[in-house]
Amino acid sequence: MCTLAELAKLEGEDGGEKKEELDREIGRGQLRNGHPFCVCRYSCTMIRPALLATLMSVARAAEFKPPNWLAECKPPDWLGCRAALLTEWGVDTAPRKPDWVLPDGGHQVRRGGKDCNKSDCSGIPYTMNGFPSPGDGSHLGAVKWQNNLTALVWEMKSEYLTMNTTVLYSLNTSSRAPANYNPPPYANGKGPSQPGPHDPWGASVGYNPQGAGDTLIIYHSTLLLLLLPPPLLLLLLLVVLLQPPPAPPPLLLLTPPIDGHESASCTPNYDGVVDYFNEIGYDVMEMFMPLIGCNQAYQYGNPRRHAWFAQWEAKGDKTMKWFIEPVALAAAYAKALLGYKHIVMVGLSGGGWTTTLASAVVTDIELSFPTAGSTPKWPTKTFPQWVPDLPEGRNHRSVSPNIFVPPPQIGAGGDYEQNPGPSKMNATGIGYAELYVLAALEPNRKQLQIMHEYDSCCFRGAGLFDPIKAYNKIVNAAENAKGYMQTAVTSGNYHQVNQRDKILISIMIEKLRRKGNLTKEDFAFLPYDDLRIQ
């Protein structure tokens, strides 16, 4: 087996002539027997770029030195491992009521055409607005409806920081989808909050939600500003910078400067996912990452980057607390105090990463769908290989379309909280494969990881089907693991919860609701799944 140093020399990481020659030959598929690369104990008649990437990955994994393993985590004692993680991350999972309950989303949510930071919005309900449609349909905003939006706010404290986390809680609209036309007997622009109590033929019976359903979806979506097109990003940043931040109200300290992308302000249902699940009958709690969206921290000067936590880590604070405890609070409140039968979590991007971690340690979450949120991108005891985070973690010298040349770097990609450092996730030495085991440890707990074949940001599946199947096999073979975890790769080429994902998620939730518990067989023949593990 080649050493990393030998492969690196052949790969030409020094940027010399040998590297340029090798890259040219790789690109033409002209590596053959007799090439210096083949001296490394490999017999090859032709080496494709993906093979070189695999060889480099194996070598890097063999020489990668992970952080010290969390001593209290001793698989197959996975319960002890979970308890150790909760302690290490400083997460409190005890149920407690929100410190504030704000009807219609509170002051931070614009409604009735008013900026509630500057105007009195008392008595004005939060309304949803329909999307444009063809023909004589709704046109933009012509269809409006209410979804019982309520903001739930918890205050969290550590020795060093006091911060709030806001959850936007909306009840289901029980299939009252916004119409693209005006079906009789309803008047123009009637949406899911209609029909009224006096409509004919009992049309209102059972449609308008009278209370909570039996299933709650915790939806965690945090899209980064850097994912926006540059012109839009520049415009948004200019608006933010030119807008003076309003004086925050006492204690809450949640006021955003503007409406817009949820990374810049507190915008309910920014990407339409919440309304989709409301329409098909599920209640939703929408969440945000710390310092972002509804969780902006004006009491600390409104920092926007998670690297801000570094100064507090240096003092001994536990960064992971601010990412995971909000989910634990919401899930425990929903289960123990609101009485939901099923708690499901869906997350995209940073929210997918949060879903991966939270579902590992928050056992109230029965079924989880981390979407474009992680791969085991560094080797650990459970999975000694690694799967790159692409395209985000690609080698900076790679040229489209060949993302595997030069090979990706081990552990590359990701945000501040995903990188090595005190109190962060991989400071424990535990990796994503271990978290996948914990998310499906108990018999009633399952996880369907969703990836996109050509995701525009991160954790794509294309070219990686074999290693993805490999870690699925290892996770489900873990000793004492009684649940089930599986990965699905849908035909997406953008970083979003796309229509295929939504249908896939909905089907699995309905199976859970009807059966009461899922089995491995329920994950067979999944629609839109190109990976097809079973």
| pLDDT tens, residue by residue, 160-208 | 999 999 999 988 875 454 454 455 555 555 544 444 555 555 554 444 5
For residues 199 and 522, which has the higher predicted lDDT (pLDDT)? 522
Residue 10 scores a pLDDT above 50: no
Q: What is the mean pLDDT of residues 106-134?
A: 70
Query: Treating both helix axes as pointing N-terminal to C-terminal, what angle do 350-361 and 78-89 enclose, rounded to 10 degrees?
Result: 120
- Cα–Cα dist 435/416, whole Å: 19
Domain CATH number, residue 392: 3.40.50.1820
Check whether 155 has a pLDDT greater than 80. yes
Residue 134, judged by CB atoms within 10 A of its CB (0-12, 13-18, 19+), counts as exposed
Confidence band of 367 (pLDDT split at 50, 70, 90): very high
Query: Contact 416/306 with Cβ under 8 angstroms?
Result: yes
pLDDT of res. 118 = 72
Instruction: Inform me whether the pLDDT recorded for 226 exceeds 60.
Output: no
Convert the pLDDT of each residue in 418-470 to its tens digit.
876 555 666 677 889 999 999 999 999 999 999 999 999 999 999 999 999 99
Q: Is the pLDDT of residue 217 over 60?
A: yes
Kindly list the distances between the CA atom of residue 507 and the CA atoms of 235, 262, 518, in Å, as whole numbers in the listed order: 39, 28, 12
Report the pLDDT averaged over residues 10-28: 43
Within-domain flag for 36: no
pLDDT of residue 66: 59
Using pLDDT thresholds of 50, 70 and 90, give the confidence band for residue 304: confident
Q: Please state which of the ranges 119-123, 193-197, 472-476, 495-499 shows the lowest mean pLDDT.
A: 193-197
Helices 78-89 and 432-439 pack at an angle, to 10 degrees, of: 110
Find the range with the poorest average confidence among 250-259, 488-497, 509-518. Answer: 250-259
Q: Which domain holds residue 257?
A: 90-109+149-174+209-534
Specify the pLDDT at position 459: 96
What token pair was written down for 138?
Answer: 């709704």
Answer whether residue 461 is part of any domain.
yes
Residue predicted with more confidence, 282 or 34: 282
- Among 142-146, 198-202, 361-365, whose mean pLDDT is lowest? 198-202
Burial pattern 43-79, b for ≥16 Cβ within 10 A else e, equals eeeebebbebbbbbbbbbbeeeebbeebeebebeebe
Q: What pLDDT score was predicted for residue 148?
A: 79
CA dihedral sign of residues 49, 51, 55, 57: positive
pLDDT at 42 over 80: no
Q: Span 55-77, mean pLDDT?
A: 65
Omega of the bond leading into 76 within 30 degrees of 0 (cis) = yes
* Cα distance between residue 190 and residue 173, in whole Å: 13
* Angstrom distance (rounded) from CA 150 to CA 54: 49
Identify the sign of the CA torsion 476, 478, 483, 487.
negative
278 lies in some domain: yes
Residue 85 falls inside a structural domain: no
pLDDT at residue 65, as a whole number? 60
- pLDDT score, position 223: 56
Average pLDDT, the chain: 77
Domain membership of residue 480 (yes or no) is yes
Which pLDDT score, from 0 to 100, does residue 486 have?
Answer: 98
87-91, 128-132, 278-282, 499-503: the lowest-pLDDT one? 128-132
Answer whether residue 237 is part of any domain. Answer: yes
Tokens of 501: 């994902």
Say yes or no to pLDDT of 41 above 50: no
- pLDDT at residue number 241: 41
- Tell me the CA distances in angstroms from 448 to 24, 98, 273, 459, 484, one per residue in order: 40, 30, 18, 15, 9
161 belongs to a structural domain: yes
Which of 138-152, 220-234, 362-376, 385-399 comes out lowest in average pLDDT? Answer: 220-234
Secondary structure class of 485 (helix, strand, coil): strand
Q: Examine residue 135 and state whether it is found in any structural domain, yes or no.
A: no
Query: Is residue 255 within 8 Å of 297, Cβ to Cβ?
Result: no
Listed range (26-40, 306-320, 365-379) with the worst mean pLDDT: 26-40
* 227-279: pLDDT as tens digits: 444 444 444 334 434 444 333 322 223 222 222 234 456 888 878 899 889 88
Give the total number of structural domains in the chain: 1
pLDDT at res. 130: 59
pLDDT of residue 122: 74
